Structure 1
Amino acid sequence: MTNLNIPSPADAAVSASAGGSNPAAGTPLFATVLVANRGEIACRVIRTLRLMGIRSVAVYSEADAGARHVREADQAVCIGPAAASESYLSIDAIIAACRATEAQAVHPGYGFLSENPAFAQALEAAGIVFMGPGVEALNVMGDKIRSKNHVVQAGVPVVPGIAEPGLNDGQLIAAAANVGYPLLIKPSAGGGGKGMHVVERAEDLPATLVTARRVAASAFGDDTLFLERLISSPRHIEVQVLADNFGHVIHLGERECSLQRRHQKVVEEAPSPLLDSQHDGAAIRARIGEAACNAARSVAYTGAGTVEFLVSDNAPDEFFFMEMNTRLQVEHPVTEMVTGVDLVQWQVRIAAGEPLTLAQTDVVLSGHAVEARVYAENPERGFMPSIGTVLELDESVTGEPGIRVDSALIRGLEISPNYDPMIAKVIAWGEDRATALDRLDRALSEYVVLGVETNIEYLRMLINDDDVRAGRLDTTLIERKLPALKFRQVSDPEYIAAALLYRQELSSSAAPTSPWALHDGWRLGEDAPWRVVLAGQGPHALVTVTGRGDGSAARVQVNDGPIRQATLQVTLPPAAAAGIPTAQVIVDEEVHRYRLAVTGARTDYRFFEGGWSCSVRVLGREAVTARIRAGIPREGSAADPQVRSPMPGTVVAVIVSNGDSVEAGQTLLAVEAMKMEHQLTASVDGTVHISVKAGDLVRADQVVATIHPAGTADTADTDSEGASSNA
């Protein structure tokens, strides 16, 4: 559900101080607006258009035919195949869709073409309004090198570094000594942390530049790079600005975005706890806000934009311009929640030529808001992207006080590897920061997505970390904390619940007149044990069940563990309700309650409890044998000579050739999925055999290379299929 929840729960205070921060609805400014995006942001924009009485048009790729934004729009147009380059990034296809639907304006959302000057020019040439800044602002701020050099002239402080267009690797390496180590490589045309790399030592710079250029070229079509000094204990603080076509520019306070992983934001909040903790925090907020407005004024900016700054935790009164995002930000809801301002509505009205009626003195920050990004990924496996089908979904938390959910999820939705892994955002507002974090924690514990792996458990651990709770944040905190995180594992209660569920399924599906088909263990004398092999995380589990009846009450044993008494009760939602079944298993008087999803084959069980979820599936004989064989130690090496893709995706680079001698740890190839590149390395020394080429699509766990240690036969491994549940 996309619940805007605007104004915020503090709407009375905001409205009284702002004199009505959102324009009153009246005659629609545009008859039809096309939303050139997908996912939760498309749904969010469509919702505001509907509230404003404006007809919405969705565009979608063939992979998104069943997507939620397609269903929620008034009209939808297919614009091409799954690949973004042939659909969401196709300027011609989107303009054709505008003409076919008579759309007068385009809202670009974020990502894709939202900051593309050629797109804005093409729309202008076609007589279609672009809901964003002018082409000059896009050109200047879209180039990080040019933008840094430009804002300096407006008196905005910038991070020391080397930012000149056209520098090759040799020139960057020569200039790095003056920049100093550690340093940061950044793509000039980039955003979202893609292509950014920290370099600690001079000897690591050449190879890292090669990787950074490849990622930049793939993601942005431009491999221009520049270098910046790495700021110690950095805080990432950004300022939301609004500007109309008449020279009026205001800011709506700042957002703290320091909780990042690989330069990608994970949790954002407004206002910044750093500034709130300073005795002169209001003065710093005014200074950084004015610097952001000056940056916007320097390019005659119009619409909604964000100016991002690095702030030293040790010196909060010092801040440095990083970049300006000339679009709506993913984290814009936290600003909306504390100001009561609908940013999308203002984007529409400014694009239609209306002046800002909100003055700087009208902007009042009320309470605190925190946003958590829900990703389809597996944090325990290095945050590898996850694909699958949404089997069950419960977003009812959006009805609770102070909670907003921006999502595009629906039951049956296929999460594919073609697009960004962010699938939803959960946002909480509170009178103070502690209340907002408590509400967010509770909302995440009740936000149920089954069928695809998510980072919800990780998000709960993160927002309950002592340093996060105390507001001691910086952009390296997540990387420091990750090694110590203890993710919950599948344990006896889940294996027992799955075994009893499977036994019930076998009993209920048996022919009623055939006692030979029953699995209830009945025989003369003592009950016969019934066994099933289950796979969760790690080694498989053998569960032995002894007891009569349908299996809801029995004696159970997991592997060689103790014999325990267990009962199972499954509660189904009413036939007319769209609820999720609940499974309660009691093991030796210990009660566990799960939200439950079962696949069509009824051999794969998904459990959700308090933000944690897992999959337990029944293994057949062949699967058990394969697992046993995979666990047999290999002679001569403890490491697996087979290199497997950790995720489904596309091979973007093959670094070595067949027959090359490689060393353990050497990069062999790179796989990209959901906008993330993962480099695969050799696990042992030996001769490499590559079984894929650049451009190939691969599945999770597919063998992509094999290392033949010295002294072994150099025979190509023909098993490129792997053993993936995603195959």
Structure 2
Amino acid sequence: MTLPTTTTAPPAPAVAARTFSAVLVANRGEIACRVIQTLKEMGIRSVAVYSDADKDAKHVALADTAVAIGGTAPAESYLKIDAIIDACRRTGADAVHPGYGFLSENVEFAKALDAAGITFIGPGINAIDVMGDKIRSKNHVMTYGVPCVPGIAQPGLTDQELIDAAAAVGFPLLIKPSAGGGGKGMHVVERAEDMASTLVTARRVAASAFGDDTLFLERLISTPRHIEVQVLADNHGNVIHLGERECSLQRRHQKVIEEAPSALFESLPDGVEQRARIGEAACNAARSVNYSGAGTVEFLVSDEHPDEFFFMEMNTRLQVEHPVTEMVTGIDLVEWQVRIAAGEVLTVAQSDVVLHGHAVEARVYAEVPERNFMPSMGRVVALAEHGPADATISGRQQAQANVRIDSAMRNNLEITGDYDPMLAKVIAWGGDRTAALDTLDAALGRYTLLGVDTNVEYLRLLINDSEVRAGQLDTGLIERKLPSMSFRHAGSEELIAAALTLWLERTGSAPAGDAWATPDSWRVGARGAWTATLGIPGGSVATVSVTEEDGTVTASIDGGQPVNVRVADRSVDGIVLEFDGGPVTYAVGVDPPGQNGVSELGSVRDIHIGNDGWSCRLEVLNRAGRLRRMLAGIQRDEGAADPEVRSPMPGTVVSVSVSDGETVEEGQVLLAVEAMKMEHHLVASVAGTVHLTSKPGDLVKADQVLATIHVDAGTTSTDKEIQS
């Protein structure tokens, strides 16, 4: 593969350097917090914007000024161009940093800012326009010698034209939205007969997410590695790259773990030359559109043929994973975005860029990996974000305290399904890749976020997988590994810790010496037994009894053998218990009594418990709740299918594929629910007649019944076998 080392594109017109009086950050979450921090360090006044749902968000509190811009839905706030420009005028902001997502790559937004005389901290309008369309960008960069994945990329192709072209592209292939980004709306098609139905879904998702349902096809590269190159370019013709990032650990085309530099290039004898070649290709892509600012050029690299790489797209804004590049280069990308937009000359030459050590980033998502990464929601009841202590970690080398956490989390924050499920990023640096992974593992083990299900335990399992440790990465690894991963569940010690937390809460609630005011079964001579009934994830129930006599505390589960336990410490951060095997520390968060009332299942409140990156939610049940759980466990034969089709999460019904009263087959798709930018198809668990209780556009709760299937009483499973 031969690449030109220069291009003929003229440099962008030089911009005179100036100073911004205030910068508005047109985003939310951790990226808004991260940008605001750099603005503070540069001495520039920061302006935050927020939706109705984000009025108490962390980025609002961090900024010097904050402006409300509309309703909870992004279309009513963060995507509302007029509201952003009005906020600039009201606060005197003369520049806008878009972060990533939302309006960061919206050419109409860039045009509107330009018309209003407000500086867009990003590239020029032409760069956004060309690179924002995957079809156009692929065709464009090929004229500058940048290799692209084989496929068909033409605007305006109908479903039938795409189906007709698929054979020439070859299966398996990828259907991709032209206006997409971040893996959203991409679909793998293994067989020709699946093309038609997948195109329908792909167009609906693309139209919903990007307002453009244009699709194109690419050949699916076997054992692909996702490697991207960070570029910096000013308005004076200077373009450099800051090395590459490996982003091959993905699920549903969304990155989970990112690192710099690439483990692949580090393992190659000619890795330095390969880095230079792919870096120059990225710079050529940037030069082709007179790019300015900090951008990323993404490539696919075949693990089988690492000397080949193919252009996928250019992201004309900051990437989620930019911290790993900052940690190995020492360059603040946000600072340079601001300085370049202000007209400064890039003072860093390509020869100045040296990669020191290794950095790895893990994305903390609100999701349940065991349930196919189903989004989760809730309220943060306990939070501790810090790096590892200076101690030997699990027999490995001593982890270095080189940890950075980019987060928008705060106690009592409500996590809803209105926005992306990413909550925070944990980034670790080490002298080499092994040290960086060890440091990250230790940091994740000490990361506490209770009240919302997260993927932290899964992240630790993933980065300690033997293939990941060996650097044998590809974009399909996560799907292959998930079925064999062993997730931790609440055991006896966790149940006892939860019960003791509730017990201490009760016994500590009365004034000192006022035994009559303490609701703890106190009696003359000895304190009576106290019990807590806990609903365990998965539907089971456990009753934990706690007694104390002569200062000795014992606990038993469901009337089993009592266990002696000592409460060694109790603080706002959790509880330390001493069992026979030694002390164990648990982070604990308890919903206040009456926080959510009594649910229909008889749950009066929740208690959240975590340890070493693992966490779970236990329901505190009343008598009715315990009875309901027990009856539910015996009313259905083990293994029998549930005729009720329930929403796995809060969300919006985006499509219904059947009619009320229609006869359906087992496994047939009935409807789709969307939340946190993810669409989930719900299928019939049994064959029969379907009765719908929902329609497109309905807002639904987790576990809400959306359809019920009535099996024909005259047709048993045995009858069906005979008939067949």
> Which of 664, 683, 686 is the matching residue for 2:685?
683
- Contact 1:376 1:454 (8 Å CA) reproduced: yes
Matched, 1:565 2:564: yes
1:523 Cα offset (Å): 7.0
Q: Identical aligned pairs, as a percentage?
A: 64
**C-alpha separation in 2, matches of 1:358 and 1:568:** 56
Secondary structure of 1:353 counterpart:
coil
- Contact 1:184 1:199 (8 Å CA) reproduced: yes
**C-alpha separation in 1, matches of 2:418 and 2:265:** 39
> Which of 130, 133, 142 is the matching residue for 2:132?
142
**C-alpha separation in 1, matches of 2:527 and 2:122:** 72
**Deviations 1:232-280 (CA, angstroms, capped at 9, x unpaired):** 0100000001111122111110000000000000000000010010000
**C-alpha separation in 1, matches of 2:65 and 2:366:** 28
**C-alpha separation in 2, matches of 1:571 and 1:544:** 19
1:508 Cα offset (Å): 3.9
**C-alpha separation in 1, matches of 2:467 and 2:112:** 48
Change in 2 beyond 3 A, CA 1:135/1:620 = same
Query: Residue 645 of structure 2 aligns with which residue?
Result: 643
**C-alpha separation in 2, matches of 1:32 and 1:102:** 7
1:548 Cα offset (Å): 3.5
Secondary structure of 2:337 counterpart:
helix
Query: Residue 698 of structure 2 aligns with which residue?
Result: 696
**C-alpha separation in 1, matches of 2:568 and 2:522:** 19
- Contact 2:324 2:361 (8 Å CA) reproduced: yes
Give the aligned residue type for 1:630.
A
Change in 2 beyond 3 A, CA 1:527/1:356 = closer
Secondary structure of 2:174 counterpart:
strand
Matched, 1:209 2:210: no
Residue segments in structure 1 that go unaligned for 5+ positions in a row: 1-26, 573-579, 714-727
> Which of 103, 116, 119 is the matching residue for 1:126?
116
**Deviations 1:331-370 (CA, angstroms, capped at 9, x unpaired):** 0000111111111111111111111111111111111110
Give the aligned residue type for 2:588.
L
TM-score relative to the length of structure 2: 0.90
**Deviations 1:312-342 (CA, angstroms, capped at 9, x unpaired):** 0011110000000010000000011111111
Query: Residue 476 of structure 2 aligns with which residue?
Result: 476
1:450 Cα offset (Å): 1.5
Query: Residue 92 of structure 2 aligns with which residue?
Result: 102
**C-alpha separation in 1, matches of 2:522 and 2:456:** 39
1:452 Cα offset (Å): 1.3
**C-alpha separation in 2, matches of 1:615 and 1:91:** 40
1:650 Cα offset (Å): 1.2
Query: Residue 323 of structure 2 aligns with which residue?
Result: 333
Matched, 1:607 2:605: no
> Which of 46, 54, 77 is the matching residue for 1:56?
46
Aligned residue runs from structure 1 range 292-441, under 5 A: 292-397=282-387, 401-441=401-441
- Contact 2:541 2:629 (8 Å CA) reproduced: no
- Contact 1:235 1:257 (8 Å CA) reproduced: yes
Change in 2 beyond 3 A, CA 1:248/1:517 = closer
- Contact 1:527 1:546 (8 Å CA) reproduced: no
Aligned residue runs from structure 1 range 536-547, under 5 A: 536-545=536-545, 547=547
**C-alpha separation in 2, matches of 1:635 and 1:413:** 40
**C-alpha separation in 2, matches of 1:349 and 1:542:** 59
Give the aligned residue type for 2:117.
G
**C-alpha separation in 1, matches of 2:283 and 2:196:** 38
- Contact 2:51 2:77 (8 Å CA) reproduced: yes
Matched, 1:273 2:285: no
**C-alpha separation in 2, matches of 1:239 and 1:269:** 12
**C-alpha separation in 1, matches of 2:547 and 2:412:** 36
1:621 Cα offset (Å): 1.5
- Contact 1:375 1:423 (8 Å CA) reproduced: yes
Secondary structure of 1:652 counterpart:
strand
Change in 2 beyond 3 A, CA 1:563/1:637 = closer
**C-alpha separation in 2, matches of 1:542 and 1:107:** 51
Residue segments in structure 2 that go unaligned for 5+ positions in a row: 1-16, 390-399, 595-604, 716-724
Query: Residue 598 of structure 1 aligns with which residue?
Result: 590
Q: 663-672 or 258-267: which moved more? A: 663-672
**C-alpha separation in 1, matches of 2:549 and 2:517:** 14
- Contact 1:494 1:616 (8 Å CA) reproduced: no
- Contact 1:584 1:594 (8 Å CA) reproduced: yes
**C-alpha separation in 2, matches of 1:85 and 1:546:** 52
Aligned residue runs from structure 1 range 453-532, under 5 A: 453-509=453-509, 518-520=519-521, 522=523, 529-532=529-532
Give the aligned residue type for 1:388.
G
**C-alpha separation in 2, matches of 1:388 and 1:87:** 22
> Which of structures 1 and 2 has the larger relative contact order (alpha carbons within 8 angstroms, sep 6+)?
1
**C-alpha separation in 1, matches of 2:623 and 2:148:** 63
Query: Residue 64 of structure 2 aligns with which residue?
Result: 74
Change in 2 beyond 3 A, CA 1:226/1:529 = same
Q: 289-298 or 532-541: which moved more? A: 532-541
Secondary structure of 1:479 counterpart:
helix
1:516 Cα offset (Å): 9.8
**C-alpha separation in 1, matches of 2:53 and 2:671:** 27
Secondary structure of 1:191 counterpart:
coil
1:532 Cα offset (Å): 2.9
Query: Residue 39 of structure 1 aligns with which residue?
Result: 29
- Contact 1:607 1:615 (8 Å CA) reproduced: yes
**Deviations 1:68-125 (CA, angstroms, capped at 9, x unpaired):** 1101111000000000001000001101111111111100000000000000000001
Secondary structure of 2:85 counterpart:
helix
> Which of 254, 257, 262 is the matching residue for 2:252?
262
Give the aligned residue type for 2:644.
Q
**C-alpha separation in 1, matches of 2:527 and 2:51:** 56
**Deviations 1:46-78 (CA, angstroms, capped at 9, x unpaired):** 111111111110000010000011011110000
Q: What is the alpha-carbon root mean square deviation over aligned residues?
A: 2.2
Give the aligned residue type for 2:680.
H
Matched, 1:193 2:183: yes
> Which of 652, 658, 662 is the matching residue for 2:660?
658
TM-score relative to the length of structure 1: 0.90
- Contact 1:545 1:554 (8 Å CA) reproduced: no
Secondary structure of 1:361 counterpart:
helix
Change in 2 beyond 3 A, CA 1:358/1:62 = same
- Contact 1:543 1:556 (8 Å CA) reproduced: no
1:546 Cα offset (Å): 5.7
Query: Residue 720 of structure 2 aligns with which residue?
Result: none
1:673 Cα offset (Å): 1.0
Secondary structure of 1:678 counterpart:
strand
Secondary structure of 1:656 counterpart:
coil
**C-alpha separation in 2, matches of 1:500 and 1:62:** 38
**Deviations 1:161-212 (CA, angstroms, capped at 9, x unpaired):** 1111111111111100111111111110001111101111111111111111
- Contact 1:398 1:404 (8 Å CA) reproduced: no
Secondary structure of 1:501 counterpart:
helix
Secondary structure of 1:629 counterpart:
helix
Query: Residue 619 of structure 2 aligns with which residue?
Result: 617
**C-alpha separation in 1, matches of 2:376 and 2:214:** 31
Change in 2 beyond 3 A, CA 1:594/1:666 = same
Matched, 1:159 2:161: no
Q: 505-514 or 125-134: which moved more? A: 505-514
